[in-house]
Amino acid sequence: MNIGKIEDGITKILVSNSSKVSLFIIEKLDTKDGLDYISHKPSLDLELQKEIIKVIKPTLSKIKNTEQIEFNENGRPNGVVEWCKKDYVGVSLERLLNSLKEDMRKEKLIDSDKKDIYCIRIEIDSGEYVYFLNRIPQLRKFEKGIWGRLVDSTFKKTTNAFIGIEPNFDLIIYQEEILVVNNVAMQRIFDLRTKYIENANSVLSSFEDSEKIEGFEQFKMDSIEDGNVVKRVSRLMEKPERMTRFIDNFDKVEQIIIEFDLNIELNAEKTKIKYTDKKQLNDIVKLLNDAYYKTVLSGEKGVDELR
């Protein structure tokens, strides 16, 4: 993502005195058709729009020169940000952006106390928008209490309708890309677990025909139910060649099990993996992802935890 262009665009807005900044408060809804969103657009005067830009601009400048790598469901190294195409998220993103349109917005949120996300939309060029998304902390323990503030040593009661605009943000959406500043937020804002389950089901259904796992039905069920494992299996949807290598090179599996001391057992004929326990899940799925390696120079063994 071209962060420099975004930074230049919002800098011009600061000196132009033009109204280019919008704020949306967004509520997530679970529907029978999946995740949906309801948005409300409070009014912002010009001075407040400038203040919002001043709050987020330093963070934008900070990440401008940060390395960008492809989004990985399983995590990432320190000191980088991630990116993905908008179609990686699919319908959830379409629904969120659609909720921001004037004819789709609600005058008030369905539940004024349930505010899940805020979105700052900035028009950096004519008809060209950049979106900054951030999750809103839910302070539920105060729902039945009293909010207040000190004014001249006097406690004044106020409402609990607080929204904090932070310097940091979870995601940036611009043109056809999403910049993922917060990996976990990406998964939660768009409920990607549903996507991972669908992908994993598809991957495992295709893999079943290989007949390389004894006790496959239990293995499949346990994989889908485990939040971390299902992401690793889902990733095989994007890397099908790993599954092919596993099947074609199954004769090497026993050697890998021994060298890395894996919690994996083969059948008597050594033609299948015997799945009997959830404790085997991680080792098996990492094996499917070809995560075990040995370096060329020193023969040092290791595990790629991002596979």
The 3 state secondary structure assigned to 40-66 is ECCCCCHHHHHHHHHHHHHHHHHHCCC
Question: How many CB atoms lie under 10 A from the CB of residue 147?
Answer: 13
Per-residue pLDDT for the chain (307 aa), expressed as one digit of tens each?
999 999 999 999 888 878 899 999 999 988 888 889 999 998 888 999 999 999 999 999 999 989 999 998 888 888 899 999 999 998 899 999 999 987 777 766 656 566 889 999 999 988 899 999 999 876 555 556 666 666 676 676 666 556 778 888 999 999 999 999 999 899 999 989 989 999 999 999 989 989 999 999 999 999 999 999 999 999 888 888 988 899 999 999 999 999 999 999 999 999 999 999 999 999 999 999 988 877 777 778 888 877 7
Question: DSSP letter string over 221-251?
Answer: HHHHH-HHHHHHHHHTTT-HHHHHHHHHTGG
The answer to whether 13 and 20 are in contact (CB under 8 A) is: yes
Cα end-to-end distance, the chain, whole Å: 24
Q: Residue 39's beta-bridge partner residues? A: 26
